[in-house]
Chain A
Amino acid sequence: MKDNGNGRAKKKVNEVGLSRSDYKGRPTTLCQGCGHNSISSQIMAACYELSIQPENVMKISGIGCSSKSPTYFMSRSHGFNAVHGRMPSIATGASIANRSLKTIGVSGDGDTASIGIGQFIHLMRRNVPMVYIIENNGVYGLTKGQFSATADKGQKLKKLGVNPFMPIDLCMEALIANCGFVARSFAGDPKQVKELLKSALNFTGTAVLDIISPCVTFNNRDESTKSYSWGIEHEYPLHDVTWVPSYDEIEMEIEPGEIVEVTLHNKSRLVLKKLEHNHDTSDRLAAMQLLEETCCAEILATGLIYLNQEQETFQSVENLVDKPLALLQQQDLRPSREALDAVMDDLR
């Protein structure tokens, strides 16, 4: 089953015997240059490099341009394009039904920051194990260019004029909701996107990645904080992130005191190489302060903003049997005749 190429030329394969092409999706129908396509590429790369069996991944999304993108990566994974803003509830039900699978949720700012904001918060409150990607471009693309709830205040759009409202900062929302993995990135920084994705895929609870992903058609003017040019000019990486498997030595030339290493529950590690700023990813209040300060200073701070591995996941709270619920059969599920008789005796 893992043979993909009819024994043709020896392709480079990963630890589960799959080549990069086994992680492909259908051809994208998004606009050329769309940030979402770049993110899809990094999802495929991260899963390939992590040797994740695609059949063990569930791709779940809501409605919108971003939500279409799961079709464009990993066709060998089951996917579910649900209803607007309600990817979190599908993900909650799906992941509790089979906790042996990895869940990747893809959403946009229209999907998450408006109708989906409630489910987004409650997903994090429950700490449902999954990677929650927001492809954030500040605009409704699929309905042709209306403001989203993350649009900049004062932003101008052709049809709708000026946006008078403050944007919702989804990383701030995640911090408030006690999410244990909060990161921000930029589609124009694919290397960081990939390393953060790898880290998120190895995290045990809800991992939120708010990725600024420019909409080349409706919101890519230089002054927009969701544009490529603005991102390239204003990105301020908090650190250089590298995910390292448990068995690898760290192969970086570093000065002592210049890196912070965090071991994840599965023994793989996150190596954060210090850049200009000294950001403590374990300090929730510092993370909030960082968001507040960088936002006011028109800085796109990217990287891992907050990490907390202490919280119980939804799955462990539910205290489930080892076998996934979805695979339980009649012998596991139907109590005995005697048990029914006993229950009925109590009703007499």
Chain B
Amino acid sequence: MSKSQAKQREAPSVMESQQPIVNDFTLVVATVNGSGSQTSNLALVRAFFRMGIPVSGKNLFPSNIQGLPTWYTIRVNAKGHTANKLKSDLLVAMNMATFREDLDKLQQGGVCFYDDRLAEPADRPDVVFYPMPIRDLVKEVDPPKQLRDYVSNMAYVGLLAELLEIDIEEIRSSLDTHFGGRERSVALNMKMIDLAASWARENLPKRDPYRVERMPKDEDLLLVDGNTAAALGAIYGGVTVASWYPITPASSLAENLEYYLPHLRSDPETGKATYAVIQAEDELAAIGMAVGAGWVGARAMTSTSGPGISLMSEFAGLAFFAEIPIVVWDVQRMGPSTGLPTRTSQGDVLPVRFLSHGDTRFTMLIPGAPHECFEFGWRAFDLAERFQTPVFVLSDLDLGMNQWVSRPFQYPEEDMDRGKVLTAEELEELGDYSRYRDVDGDGIAPRTIPGTNHPLAAFFTRGTGHDERAVYSEKAEDWDANIERLWRKLENARKLLPAPVLQQMDDAEVGIIAFGSTDPAIVEARQYLSDEGLATDYLRIRAIPFSDSVRDFIQGHQIVYVIEMNTDGQMHKLLQLEWPALATKLVSLTKNNGVPLDTDWTIEAVRNAEDQRHEG
């Protein structure tokens, strides 16, 4: 290890006098895809979480299996702000190819841990450099060849633990969770971590101000990604048929169904399944299977991302028009086309709302945190069956695949709403039945499901024009009557959809509307803006069609900034379309480059817009 020691330099003197910075930094780990760093990064995130420190872990990864650069951003913040940050305070540099670029994104006065095979640059005297003798440490641990990469990544975990004062026991327990209690795996990785930590203790005098400290912990909180939460929500919503086709970033939703269902939803006596999860041949078939199952009365869903949504368009239109309940999860990624398949976006708002040809209006739920992915996971089925319509749930890559500290999932206290389904006995009593007759005046006509043992039960489901009895009709009056009822039905859905979440400040004349995974950035930005003297109210939309309270919110403010991650301001356009008289109050602020919305941009965007407004 003499080489590494030799590479050490005197610390920049300015560091000596700095105040410690506790539980407030952004750490970026720059590695190569496929090098097995995910285990290390998750162990760090979980250790911070178990120390009670608010944390987020965001993986910025390439569409590649091995060899391209990947960055993992961990943000800890005692105040609970865990939105994305574009500049890091600490950097773990493991990738020679991106070292320069990574250094450029390091804050002035930041800290850099680097693989000592890289040369320490001379042009960043502001940075505290710590060399990591990874090769030597690996040699000493001598792991089996096939585990070498994984174990070598544990070196930076050990060094960080020592220098940031992360509780090694929490790292051990995190690895224990990760490896499902497999002691040999934990021991091998801990050997590296311990060795690296003790090497750092002897060889790397602390020259930077960053460290962590245990905080009082809310024992209810979870560390989870949105796709896991969504899968569990669907399971508690009673999903019986889930068909899907692999696509980033939605695959892990279906994979989590496959993971949890055998345990949670098998018959305790026979071990047989109360569900079928089907990997389809493509998205056309995935939604087709869901529509077929929903038609028969199963709680059916599919999960996909943008390109899959495009393919599902025709079937979605059929399900909408024939009034078949299904749930579709759209874990959004950057489009158009293949776009940036491993980067996040909110670009499917308009495409999904008006998916398919002709007039359509799809019902959409938009969770903004994992606990809402869970809740909307079950609630979507109730809404789909109540309104006999496809319900789309719009998540995104950041929410779906990254690690979030989440409020606990609330067990559904409401009974399942299976909607209006007539039984043979009810048909006998009625003596007459027409599939699309609005008997209750709410636009929702009762359906029957195949197998209902009554001569009146059957009808013919079709995507063609139909009359009340579901018989093919080209008559203009039949078409008009059907559409009028369909629109009335969907109008009624407004009141039952999840209401927006309102956060207010005293005397705010500026409103902010946002939705989904941008929530942490908006919340933090508002805090900073308020410190600068700009009070804002914030309305987070959670469903489309909009509730009336969205209109009230717009009316109640002098100006409303609609902040979103797409290029055209899709939600902004939708709001303008809904309330044209209020259109001029709405100002669109968008950012769409695949990176989760960051706080600094949000502050800047609102600040600039406000300056412009006051100048103009």
In the complex, chain A residues whose CB is within 8 Å of the CB of B457: 55, 76, 78
- A71 to B223 alpha-carbon distance, docked (Å): 53
Tell whether, in the assembled complex, residue A347 and residue B223 are in contact, meaning their CB atoms are under 8 Å apart.
yes
Contacting chain A: which of B24-32, B339-347, B408-416, B587-595? B408-416
Interface members, chain B 424-451 (any A CB < 8 Å): 424, 428, 448-451
Nearest CB in chain B: distance from A129 CB, A: 14
Whether the Cβ atoms of A101 and B464 lie closer than 8 Å is no
Option from A89, A97, A339 in Cβ contact (under 8 Å) with B240: A97
Segment from A31-39, A187-195, A201-209, A326-334 that makes contact with B: A326-334
Given A77-B458, A348-B223, the answer on whether A55 and B291 have CB atoms closer than 8 Å is no
Interface membership of A92, Cβ < 8 A: yes
Q: Which residues of A contact B296 (CB under 8 A)?
A: 58, 93-94, 97-98, 101, 326
Return the CB mask of A49-86 against B: 1 if under 8 Å, else 0. Answer: 00001111010100000000011000111111111001
Tell whether, in the assembled complex, residue B291 and residue A93 are in contact, meaning their CB atoms are under 8 Å apart: yes
- Chain B positions 253 through 282: 1 when the CB is less than 8 Å from some CB of chain A, otherwise 0: 000000010001101001111111010111
**A325 contacts B275, C-beta separation under 8 Å:** yes
Query: What's the minimum C-beta distance from B246 to chain A, rounded to whole angstroms?
Result: 15
Q: Please, what's the 1-or-0 string for A317-348, where 1 marks a CB less than 8 Å from any CB in chain B?
A: 01111101111111011110101100110111
Contact of B232 with A by CB under 8 A: yes
Residue of B nearest to A325 (CB): B240
Q: Is the CB of B292 within 8 A of A93?
A: yes
Do the beta carbons of B276 and A83 come within 8 Å of each other? Answer: no
Contact call B288/A82, Cβ cutoff below 8 A: yes
Residues 126-164 of A, flagged 1 when their CB comes within 8 A of B and 0 if not, give 000000000000000000000000000000000000000
Does B450 lie within 8 Å of A118, measured CB to CB?
no
A96 within 8 A of B: yes
Return chain B residues, CB-CB under 8 Å to A329: 416, 418
B273 close to A321 (CB less than 8 A): yes
A122 interface hit (Cβ, 8 Å): yes
**A12 CA to B449 CA, complexed, in Å:** 29
Q: Are B298 and A325 in contact (CB under 8 A)?
A: yes
Q: What residues of chain A lie closer than 8 Å to B300, measured between beta carbons?
A: 93, 97
- Interface status of B461 (Cβ within 8 A of chain A): yes
Q: Given A320-B276, A321-B273, A325-B275, A90 and B295 touching (CB < 8 A)?
A: yes
A71-B460, A90-B295, A346-B177 known; A328-B454 Cβ under 8 A: no
> In the complex, what residues of B have CB within 8 A of residue A26's CB?
471
- In the complex, the answer to whether B289 meets A93 with C-beta atoms within 8 Å is yes
- Chain B residue numbers with a CB within 8 Å of A339 are 264
- A131 nearest CB across to chain B (Å): 15
A97 contacts B238, C-beta separation under 8 Å = no
Interface residues of A in 1-24 (CB under 8 A from B): 1, 4, 22
**Which 3 A/B pairs are nearest by Cβ-Cβ distance?**
A89-B288, A93-B292, A333-B238
Query: Could you show 21 A-B contacts with beta carbons less than 8 Å apart?
Result: A1-B428, A1-B454, A55-B451, A58-B296, A76-B455, A76-B457, A82-B291, A83-B314, A86-B284, A94-B293, A96-B276, A96-B289, A97-B241, A101-B296, A320-B272, A325-B298, A330-B416, A332-B274, A333-B274, A343-B232, A348-B50
Question: Could you tell me which B residues sit within 8 Å of A by CB distance?
Answer: 50, 177, 219, 221-224, 228, 232, 235-238, 240-241, 243, 260, 264-265, 267, 270-276, 278, 280-282, 284-300, 314-315, 318, 408-409, 411-412, 415-416, 418, 424, 428, 448-455, 457-464, 471-472
A97-B298, A119-B281, A318-B273 given. 14 additional CB < 8 A pairs? Answer: A4-B455, A78-B457, A78-B461, A80-B461, A81-B460, A81-B463, A89-B284, A90-B288, A97-B297, A98-B298, A118-B282, A326-B296, A326-B298, A348-B222
